[in-house]
Amino acid sequence: MAKKLGTQDRLPLPIQALYIVVILFVVALMGLPMLNVLAVSFSTIAKSDAPGLILFPNPPSFEGYTFIWSFVNLAQPFFTTVYVSVVGTFFHVLMASLAGYILTQRDLPLRKILTSFILLTMTVPNELTMIGIYAVNRDLGLLNTYTGLIVNGMISGFSVFLMRNYFQGIPLSLAESARIDGATELTIFSKIYLRLSIPGLMTIGTLELIRRWNNITLVVTLISDMKKWTLPVVLRSILFEQTSTSGTSYIFANAKMAAVVLTAIPLVVLYFFTQTFFTSGVMIGAIKG
C-alpha cells in the first residue's frame, strides 16, 4: 500500500522533465559567467585577451594571480577589508541582539512605536541616505577613517527583527526562573537568549559580513584616500580602468579575473562553514514571532 501511494505521489514524467530543463537553464545562466571568470583567471595573457567565451584554461597558468597580487598590491586592501568587515560584523550582531532582546520585553514603554519606527527604516533605500551619511560623518570627523566604515551600518532593521523573532520563541519561564534565582538582565541575555539563538546569530553575522565585504557605495562615499580603499573598491578600479595604479602597465584580462576570484574566495569559504546555520536561521527567524 505504501509503495502504491509513493508511486501516486510522484510527479508526472513531463513535469519532471520540465523541472529539470528549468533547473539546467538556471544553472547555466548562473554558472557560465562564474566558470568564464574562473577559466580566464587561470589562462595565459594571450589566451585571456583572445575573443570568444573561455570555459576551460588551455594551458592553465597562474600568471594573472601572481601579477595582480604583487603588482597592484592587493595585500593592503585585503587586510583592510577583513578588518572593517569582521569588526563591523561583530558590533552589528551585538547591537541587533541587544535591540531584539529589548523589544521582546512586554513592559517596555512605547514598544509598538519603537517597533514601527525600526520597520519604517527598512523601507528607505540606502542610496537615498548617502548624502546625509556623508554630512554626518564629515561633521563627526569620520571621513577617511576605518571607524566610519565600522560605525555606519552597525544596526539594521532586518537584523533586529530577525533576532526579536528568535528571542520571542524562547519560553519566558526560563528568564523568569533566572530572575527568581537572582540573575541580572545581562546574565539572562548572554547565558540564555544568546546561547539558544546561535542559528540566528550566525545568519545575521553571515549576511552582514557579506554586505560589508562587498560594500562599494559607502566606501567611495566616506573614503577618498586610495590607501584605505577596501578590496571591492580596488577591484572596481581594476575592472573599469584600462591601466593599473601606476599608470604605466596594462592590466590583462586574466589578472582582472584573478582579482575577482581572490575577492570572492573568502565569501565562498564562509558559506561552506555557515550554510547549515544560515538555512535554519533564515527559516526559523522568519517563522517565529
> 124 and 183: one domain?
yes
Q: How many domains does one find in the chain?
A: 2
Residue 250: φ, ψ to 5°: -80, 135
> 156 and 236: one domain?
yes
> Is the preceding omega at residue 57 within 30 degrees of 0, hence cis?
no
Residue that has been written with the C-alpha cell 576605518 in this structure:
146
CA dist., res. 24 & res. 248, Å (int)? 44
Question: Looking at residue 245, what is its pLDDT?
Answer: 46
> 214 and 127: one domain?
yes
63: left (phi over 0), alpha (psi -120 to 50) or beta: alpha
Residue 243: φ, ψ to 5°: -120, 160
> 54 and 150: one domain?
no
> 232 and 263: one domain?
yes
Question: Looking at residue 243, what is its pLDDT?
Answer: 46
Question: Looking at residue 279, what is its pLDDT?
Answer: 57
CA dist., res. 9 & res. 26, Å (int)? 26
Q: Quick one: how far is CA 140 from the chain centroid? A: 27
> 161 and 133: one domain?
yes
> 235 and 179: one domain?
yes
> 195 and 106: one domain?
yes
Question: Looking at residue 283, what is its pLDDT?
Answer: 52
> 156 and 43: one domain?
no
> 8 and 38: one domain?
yes
Kindly give, in sequence order, each residue whose CB lies less than 8 Å from that of residue 230, ignoring residues fewer than 6 positions away.
77, 80, 81, 84, 149, 215, 219, 223
> 46 and 125: one domain?
no
Q: Are 149 and 88 in contact (CB under 8 A)?
A: yes
Q: Using the 3D structure, point to which of 22, 47, 64 is the last residue of a domain.
A: 64
> 130 and 59: one domain?
no
Q: Grid coordinates standing for 151? A: 560605525
Q: Are 167 and 130 in contact (CB under 8 A)?
A: no
Q: Are 160 and 97 in contact (CB under 8 A)?
A: no
Q: Using the 3D structure, point to which of 29, 46, 64 is the last residue of a domain.
A: 64
Domain range holding 122? 68-287
Provide the sign of the torsion angle of the four alpha carbons 251, 253, 254, 255, taken in this order. Answer: positive
| Neighbour-count burial for 17-40, b at 16+ CB within 10 Å, e otherwise | eeeeeeeeeeeeeeeeeeeebbbb
3-state SS track over the chain: CHHHHHHHHCCCHHHHHHHHHHHHHHHHHHHHHHHHHHHHHCCCHHHHCCCCCCCCCCCCCCHHHHHHHHHCCCHHHHHHHHHHHHHHHHHHHHHHHHHHHHHCCCCCCCHHHHHHHHHHHCCCCHHHHHHHHHHHHHHCCCCCCHHHHHHCCCCCHHHHHHHHHHHHCCCHHHHHHHHHCCCCHHHHHHHHHCCCCHHHHHHHHHHHHHHHHHCCHHHHHHCCCHHHCCHHHHHHHHHHCCECCCCCCECCHHHHHHHHHHHHHHHHHHHHHHHHHHHHHHHHHHHCC
Q: Which residues in the chain land under pLDDT 70?
A: 1-9, 241-249, 275-289
What's 141's domain CATH number?
1.10.3720.10
Q: Are 99 and 193 in contact (CB under 8 A)?
A: no
Q: Using the 3D structure, point to which of 41, 64, 87 is the last residue of a domain.
A: 64
